[in-house]
Structure 1
C-alpha cells in the first residue's frame, strides 16, 4: 500500500476510537475507496473492470464473509449468500452479464425487506443487505462516490437503499444501527478496526497495479 493510504488508515483508526459510537464515518470510507484506484468508466452500458473496482468489490465481499456467520446462525439452510458471491465471481470472469446481477439485487432486496418486517430484531437481513451492496459495487462501482453526493454526507443522511456493504455489515456485527439503544458500541468499533487493519489491506493487495 502507498504511504499516503497508510497515513489515512492511521487517521481513520483514531477517528473510530474517538467517535462516541465507534463509527467509521462515510466521508472517511469514501477517501479510502478513492485510494484503491481508478473507477470503472461505463462503456456501452458496461462498467469497465479496473484494479480499483476489483479492490472495492473485494473489500465488500470480505465484509460479507466477516458477518456471514450471523446469516448462517439465523438461516442455517439458506445458501443464497454463497450463491450470490459465486455470481459476482462469475460476472468478473464474464460468465454472466450485469443483468443477472441486477435481477438478483432487486429480488433479494425484496426478500431481505420481508425478513426485516417479519422480525425487526433479525440481523441476518442486514447481512443480506450487505451482500446486495457487494453486488452493486461489482457492476456499478460505488454509487456513493458519485459527484451528486456531497463528500461530507453521513450514512444516516442517506436513504438505506444507498448504504454500502460495509455499513450494513457493521450494523449486523454490532446488533443494530448506531441509533438503536441495543446495539453495541464496542462491537461496532471492533468491526471498523477489523475493516481498517485487515480488510482494507487485504483487498488492496489482492490486485496489483
Structure 2
C-alpha cells in the first residue's frame, strides 16, 4: 500500500472517530443534563411533600384540618394542582399512607403519644373517604375502569358481563406483567452499555486526535 492510500485511510479513520467523539460528547452532555433536571424535579417534589407533612401535622394536632375538603385544598395548594386535575386522590392517598406509617414509626418530630391516636384515626377516615369517592384510585385508568365495571356488574347480578370483564382484566394484567419484565430487561442492560459506549467513543476519539 503506497503512502497516499495510507494517508487517505488515516484521514477517513480520523474523520469517523472525530464524528464519534462529537456524538459521544453530545450524548454525555445530554445524559448529565437529563440527570440534573431529574434530580431537581425529585428534590422539588420531596420539598413539597415535607411541606405537606408539616402542614398536615400541625393541622391535625391543632384541629384546624377538620374535613376531607380541608385536606384536599391543602394538598392542591402545596402541589399547585389545577382544579381540573381529577387524578390527585392517588397522590394524596399515597402521601397520607406514608405520613401515617412514619407517624406510627415515630419518624415525624413533634407528634406526642397523646396525639398519635387522633392523627391515626383522622388519616384513616380521610383515606377511606377518598377511596369511596374514587374507588381504585391507586390503579391506572384502564384497570380502575374495569374494576368499577366489575363492581357494577356484581351489584346488578350480571354474571355473563362479570365473567367477560374479569377475563379482560386478566388479559390486561398479563400484558402489564410482560411489559414490565421486558422493560426491566432493557433497563438492566441499556445503562451499562450506554456508559461503556460513551467511554469507548471518548477514548478512541482522543486516540484518533493524537494520531
TM-score normalised by length of structure 1: 0.26
Higher alpha-carbon Rg: 2
More helix by share: 2
Give the alignment's TM-score, normalised by structure 2. Answer: 0.25
Higher relative contact order (CA 8 A, sep 6+): 2
